[in-house]
Structure 1
Amino acid sequence: MNTMRLSTILLAAITALVAILLYSPLFVPIVSSFFVINHGQADWSTPTLSAYIALTENTDVLAALRATLIVGLCTVVLSVVCGTLLALYYHSHRAGGGALQFIVFLPFLMPPVISGLALLIFFREINFDRSLVTIVIGHTIFVLAIVYRTILTRLQSVSRTLVEASYDLGANGWQTFWRVILPNLSSAMAGGAILAFALSFDETMITILVTGTQSTLPVRLWAMMRLGFSPDINALVALVLLFTVLLCGLTARFLIPKQVAGFHG
């Protein structure tokens, strides 16, 4: 009993240490965003919201953030639609399934710099000007594999008797998809959309190669590294982290229970 208790305490201590090492750096910009920083030194005497006020006046960063959100939302829509259609095709028609999966997974498995260079050469060959559209295309190709696999896994778990019962009750193909298949795929589609948005928000290498005059937030921050970050970037990081935590909380609260219920129901 004492040995088991000692091992439990040891594992808990190791887990706590790993968590501290992983997540403690995240709290540095959050805490720093509430204090004035002069010449690299923080004044801990008086908390202030000046960094957040300065962030609202930083038009370049806000424009990059707006571009990132636009690209992320467009990527989510395209990847979920394409991933759902490809998953439905592979699940219903196995002909050419191997080639289909090879095409879908190849851009995700290749290094991002290779995918970005390939897209850059392609856009130049067809004289397609680089813009937010090219960024959306690059991000969609990159995240499609994750969305496709998430939806396909959920689709393969749906009992065929549900579809057969729908047809036996007189429903046509569209009605069966809308009222039987789609509700069972909704949680997987939402989960894939969250993953797609997170990957798109963070993608840098492909974005650098296919971007035009408008840059996303990661590219903007990459450029600012040469001169150093202003205090309002700490506020931006704090807000992004808060949004990420809320997104993870919503995912755990609303998506995971539905998926578990779907497998047991």
Structure 2
Amino acid sequence: MPLNPHTKLNTGAIMPTVGLGTWKSKPGEVEHAVETALRHGYKHIDTATAYSNEAEVGKGIKASGVPREDFFLTTKLNNPDMGHPKEALEYSLQQLDTPYLDLWLMHWPAPMTKEGGPDKSIDWLDTWHEMEKLYKTHPDKIKAIGVSNFCVEYLQRLLDNSEVVPAVNQIELHPSCPQQAIVDFCTSKGIVVTAYSPLGSDGSPLLKNPVVNKIAEKHNVSPAIVLISLQANRPNVNVLPKSVTKERVISNFQLIDLSDEEVKELNDISKTESFRACHPKWAGWGNLGFTEAV
């Protein structure tokens, strides 16, 4: 399975296969990670208002000296902001110090109050409709819109009741969380999938998995590169490795081709070792319908 250098969105735009993820990146470190990534070949930076690091990401972009038009930038609408997406968009643009976003995602289909509880007065679908309007009326500020953490059921509801097909669905993907049904559904609808937590997050047991390490030794690379490469080898999928360590940011970009047999071995890990890295507190809210979706 040859590596794909990029994926093509349903808007016609090109989205790089590998981007820098910034979830859980500590304050004071994100700026330097972004600067390092852009200076060493990365063409996609991913952040979110919920990460509380958009301003630092913006500083890292400026410090890199890379022209804005030379890379792809993604951020996400925060759950407590789903009642006022227009203001949230302006806030993100200001924090990132950028005139436009290449991709703006609904972070979760989970409207929340500022206090952190469920906001039952807001339907996430109504918020999506507002995002559609902003996308259509402000093409100078938003090049594409999409979603994150959406299961097939939620995607189907969106498609049945909307005009704009999401360009991307960003979900957790790694050998212990393959979510193939969602990937297949997105592919059938022309929606690109972005894989977050490709290593299984910090301290992941996947980094010590014997299958992963066997393949890493064969290719003379780190286990992390094997796990990132697995997602980069999947059709219609791009991937967001995260690190704030200069050496790892650079090495994570040096991916390898995997054979079909190696891909099968890695995918089979889920049969005996299954887990999720992301367990938000709202995953148990029955009124939101989250079961396997989160």
TM-score by length of 2: 0.23
Higher strand proportion, which one? 2
Higher helix proportion, which one? 1
- The structure whose Rg is larger is 1
Relative contact order, CA 8 A, sep 6+: which one is greater?
A: 1
TM-score by length of 1: 0.24
